[in-house]
Amino acid sequence: MQKRKLGNSTLEVSALGLGCMSMSYGYGPPGDKQKMIEVIQAAVAQGVTFFDTAEVYGPFTNEELVGEALAPFRGQVAIATKFGFRLIDGKQAGLDSRPEHIKQVAEASLKRLKVEAIDLFYQHRVDPDVPIEDVAGAVKDLIHAGKVKHFGLSEAAAQTIRRAHAVQPVTALQSEYSLWWRNPEADVLPTLEELGIGFVAFSPLGKGFLTGKIDENTTFDSTDFRNVVPRFTADARKANKALVDQLSAIAARKNVTAAQLAIAWLLAQKPWIVPIPGTTKRHRLEENNGSASLALTPDDLLEIDSATSKITVQGERYPEHLNRMVGR
């Protein structure tokens, strides 16, 4: 698989990473540990060198899974993890990006991941109670101590990115970006391009919706957080199917899947964008990774933009309490 550099940094990773959250958390019951290890190791065999996790996924169990699965490949892969939530008795209890807490999280994550340094350490969500300069300073200390290699932000606004970058260069911003969530194009992507910061796109398949395998009759497990996402109500799914229908029609003419077309579209936007689709299935891993070799022409991109721009996606991408945490 081709490699990409995250902005002007020295961090070079595979053009597609692997989001590991769904293996432990968020989309139904956790997967079988041994099978999930096999999926992660299959990703390495297919050329993936960039893996995404966080302490809150589980919590803690996803970092442990990723650490165990990637132990044989130390030095060959990059692992990104995140800090910034307060956890009490294994449950999220608000945000906490106090410098002393960041350093505690780093020490715990290093142990779970079985590494000597965290390749990319993101602030998971911007904490309004802690100046971003203090957050960047804490990560700068960890970098100087050799415990972290690169600093990242997740779902931060352009002005926050600028303030953080002035204290400690930001290697990457991670946010949702796909054909059904294009808001980063307004302010965030131009800011990243100006500052030389990479973009890591999570949910490049719209939490599974852009695969075409979900419709208004789909039911989700009771532990699947899509149950509380406004964009996934039955009415919204019925309305939003129009976008997937357009995508599927173009994909069929190119003899690829809708998922492959959606990921290839993201890769074509900027050479410093790295999508991290998540999956728990090896055949989906292979399908997703196949998109890295799908080259779209300017005419293809024009057709995709033209077809999808006529459709207004229905429903917020997060419930209100989570919406308040993004874009700060």
Average pLDDT over residues 157-162: 98
Per-residue confidence (pLDDT) for residue 205, from 0 to 100: 98
**Longest CA–CA separation in the chain, Å:** 54
Q: Is residue 217 part of a domain?
A: no
pLDDT band at 292 (very low <50, low <70, confident <90, very high): very high
Q: CA 39 to CA 198: how far, in whole Å? A: 26
What is the overall mean pLDDT for the chain? 97
β-sheet bridge partners, residue 4: 13
Query: Active site includes 57?
Result: yes
Per-residue confidence (pLDDT) for residue 50, from 0 to 100: 99
Residue type, 212: G
Per-residue confidence (pLDDT) for residue 51, from 0 to 100: 99
Q: Is residue 23 part of a domain?
A: yes
The predicted-structure confidence for 165-194, as pLDDT tens digits, reads as follows 999 999 999 999 999 999 999 999 999 999
Per-residue confidence (pLDDT) for residue 318, from 0 to 100: 95
Q: Is residue 303 part of a domain?
A: no
Q: Is residue 301 part of a domain?
A: no
Per-residue confidence (pLDDT) for residue 11, from 0 to 100: 98
* Token duo for residue 291: 């998109």
pLDDT band at 123 (very low <50, low <70, confident <90, very high): very high
Sheet strands (E) in the chain: 3-5, 12-14, 18-19, 50-52, 78-83, 85-88, 91-95, 120-123, 151-154, 170-176, 198-202, 273-275
Q: Can you give the residue range of the structural domain that contains 141? A: 3-205+269-293
The predicted-structure confidence for 5-16, as pLDDT tens digits, reads as follows 999 999 999 999
Per-residue confidence (pLDDT) for residue 307, from 0 to 100: 94
Choice among 57, 122, 177, 318 that is catalytic = 57
Supply the CATH number for residue 184's domain.
3.20.20.100
Per-residue confidence (pLDDT) for residue 87, from 0 to 100: 96
Average pLDDT over residues 247-264: 97
Q: Is residue 92 part of a domain?
A: yes
The total number of structural domains that make up the chain? 1
Per-residue confidence (pLDDT) for residue 100, from 0 to 100: 98
Q: CA 83 to CA 95: how far, in whole Å? A: 9
